Amino acid sequence: MINPFEILETIKMIQEENLDIRTITMGISLRDCCDSDERVACAKIYDKITRLAANLVKVGEDIEREYGIPIVNKRIAVTPVSIIAESRDTADYVKFAETMDRAAEAVGVNFIGGYSALVHKGYTNGDRRLIASIPEALSTTKRVCSSVNVATTKSGINMDAVREMGFVIKKAAELTASEGALACAKLVVFANAPEDNPFMAGAFHGIGEPECVINVGVSGPGVVKCALEKVRGADLGVVAETIKKTAFKITRVGQLVAQEASKRLGVQFGIVDLSLAPTPAMGDSVAHILEEMGLEKCGTHGTIAALALLNDAVKKGGAMASSYVGGLSGAFIPVSEDAGMIEAVQSGALSVEKLEAMTCVCSVGLDMIVVPGDASAETISAIIADEMAIGVVNSKTTAVRIIPALGKKEGEIVEFGGLLGRGPVMRLNRFSSKTFIERGGRIPAPIHSLKN
Amino acid sequence: MKAVITVIGKDRVGIIAAVSTILADCNVNILDISQTIMREFFTMIMLVDISKATISFTELAEKLEKKGKELALSIRIQHEDIFNSMHRI
């Protein structure tokens, strides 16, 4: 029998340190739902999602009860809709978003991702129509999440798409101004988007994925922080080792849940995503892990080194614990969803520039950043361009989920509620990038992409 | 299927009796018990076999939880695999 201390350690992680499974995400291919008649296509999409995901929530809840581990979200990711809707020469792609929304509601999931387009090298006609419809789609639906991949290391950066996304984000913010620009929290712009990411808002079911798949995202910043509290004063080698061991334990639970969910649903197991995903709850913050390492506030000098150590140790521990690792797999640093990040911004320790630097060494990018509502579309595009360049040159995923808070100024707070949290409006550089962004075109792939 | 029951709280008379009565009523076999007092807290860990239980896992969990509330204790039941997977390779 497992010894009592180990049992109590697990229970303490769950009860006091916020260990949970952040999401079980079912990936569903919609490639057989194309039809030139949009009513037929939408009916096929609705039927397929509600058929395959009918038991997703129930199975998640059963596992939660039997193993005594909270599974916070059950979600769905589908094939990028730009591909599915393309057979139909219609300007009205919003119908597809409405269908996804209804299907998600019917099976009881809170988010469905995949209102997406992959345009890193250029647009197809369908991509163009889908991207143009994003603001309306996200403002008229509740559960639909959207993502656009505008850059890859292999193909460079599509600056026309970067430019357009600045306008799309501004429009989405305007359409949902009364809800704190909520639509923007459901929209991610990617470089090197992973095809098997289980986390919203960026989840979609990539074109290399099987018919249906289960991907699981674990969490547990609180567990890592508590483990580090026990090694205060020890050198950073000990810190790395402690994080590694903790990540191993966390990920083993993720692996167990993924296998069990896949077995019960009769669906292939895809990957476990090793990300440390924070929530706005106290004791569930990535920033507080960095501060536990010895930084007075997240964002001060030394933050990048601490984050690099954390990210690497999480991967090393997690990789040993799971048979298939994928998705984003690293520490998340969303501002509004992390109590420590919010404090760091409010105290003036953490700036957009430092966050950009942090994204060079961790899994995502500028995530849930609230900026002044008067920031121009070109400025937002330029922020995206910088982040895409970091991803492309470093051969990693980067993303931008940015929220222009209309009518709000630097220092004010926008409340989103729930897991999305609350975000302080951050300061941006006041000089213009307009002429640069207006050039458009495509930034070529970096020389080190030529590996063949 | 084996499960682990953990009872944590302030020590008092009749904790084991209360839990084992529920288990016996539901035809759940106790395989192992260990108990200790940690930081003034009574901590009991039971390994049980629930494969012949007369009620569902959820119902058993609810019964134990209800009893826990009556006795001002935390009583949880979890599939043993969560502990095995976390602590054993």
Looking at beta carbons, which pairs linking A297-306 to residues 24 or more positions away fall under 8 Å? Answer: A297/A343, A297/A344, A297/A347, A297/A349, A297/A350, A298/A340, A298/A341, A298/A344, A298/A349, A298/A350, A299/A344, A299/A345, A299/A349, A299/A350, A299/A351, A299/A354, A299/A355, A300/A349, A303/A354, A303/A358, A304/A357, A304/A358, A304/A360, A304/A361
How far apart CA A74 and CA A266 sit, in angstroms, is 16
CA A191 to chain centre: 12
Q: Domains in chain B, start-ordered, CATH in brackets?
A: 2-87 (3.30.70.260)
Contacts of A2 in chain B (CB under 8 A): 4, 80, 83-84, 87-88
Mean per-residue pLDDT pooled into runs of 10, chain A (452 residues): 85 88 96 92 96 96 94 96 86 91 96 97 95 96 97 97 98 93 95 95 95 94 93 96 94 94 96 89 91 97 96 93 90 91 95 95 89 96 97 95 92 85 93 97 95 86
Is residue A370 less than 8 Å (CB to CB) from chain B?
Answer: no
Shortest distance, CA A252 to any CA of chain B (angstroms)? 5
Per-residue pLDDT of B44-83, as tens digits, reads: 999 999 999 999 999 999 999 999 999 999 999 999 999 9
Contact criterion met (CB below 8 Å) for B52 and B21: no
Query: Residue A347's closest CA among A311, A385, A415, A295?
Result: A295
How far apart CA A417 and CA A110 sit, in angstroms, is 14
pLDDT at res. A1: 64
pLDDT at res. A112: 97
pLDDT at res. A124: 95
Shortest distance, CA A242 to any CA of chain B (angstroms)? 15
How far apart CA A187 and CA A113 sit, in angstroms, is 10
Looking at beta carbons, which pairs linking A427-433 to residues 24 or more positions away fall under 8 Å? Answer: A427/A351, A427/A352, A428/A352, A428/A371, A428/A372, A428/A375, A428/A379, A428/A383, A429/A379, A432/A376, A432/A378, A432/A379, A433/A378, A433/A379, A433/A381, A433/A382, A433/A385
**Is the previous residue joined to A344 through a cis bond, with omega within 30 degrees of 0?**
no
Mean pLDDT of chain B: 91
**DSSP string of A209-223, one letter each residue:** S-SEEEEEEE--HHH
How far apart CA B17 and CA B22 sit, in angstroms, is 9
Per-residue pLDDT of B3-23, as tens digits, reads: 999 999 988 888 899 999 999
Chain A, 63-82: which have a CB under 8 Å from a chain B CB? 65-69
Contact criterion met (CB below 8 Å) for A138 and A96: no
pLDDT at res. A359: 94
Query: Residue B19's closest CA among B6, B9, B2, B10?
Result: B6
Q: Do A7 and B45 touch (CB under 8 A)?
A: yes
Q: Do A8 and B6 touch (CB under 8 A)?
A: yes
How far apart CA A216 and CA A71 sit, in angstroms, is 10
Strand-strand pairing, A398-405 and A187-191: antiparallel
Contacts of A10 in chain B (CB under 8 A): 82-83, 86-87
Is residue A7 less than 8 Å (CB to CB) from chain B?
Answer: yes
Residue B38 has pLDDT above 90, yes or no: no
Q: Which residue has the tokens 């990789």?
A: A319
Q: The domain A20-191 is classified under which CATH number: 2.60.40.1120, 3.40.50.620, 3.40.50.1010, 3.20.70.20? A: 3.20.70.20
Query: Residue A46's closest CA among A58, A55, A54?
Result: A54
Q: Do B4 and A256 touch (CB under 8 A)?
A: no
Contacts of A249 in chain B (CB under 8 A): 86-87
**DSSP string of chain B, one letter each residue:** -EEEEEEEEE--TTHHHHHHHHHHHTTPEEEEEEEEEETTEEEEEEEEE-TT-SS-HHHHHHHHHHHHHHHTEEEEEEETHHHHHHH--
- B86: nearest CB among A10, A65, A66: A10
Contact criterion met (CB below 8 Å) for A406 and A413: no
Q: Which of B50, B55, B86 to mutate to test the interface with A (most CBs of A within 10 A)?
A: B86
Query: Domain residues of chain A, as ranges?
Result: 20-191
**DSSP string of A361-384, one letter each residue:** TSSS-EEEEEEETT--HHHHHHHH
pLDDT at res. A276: 87
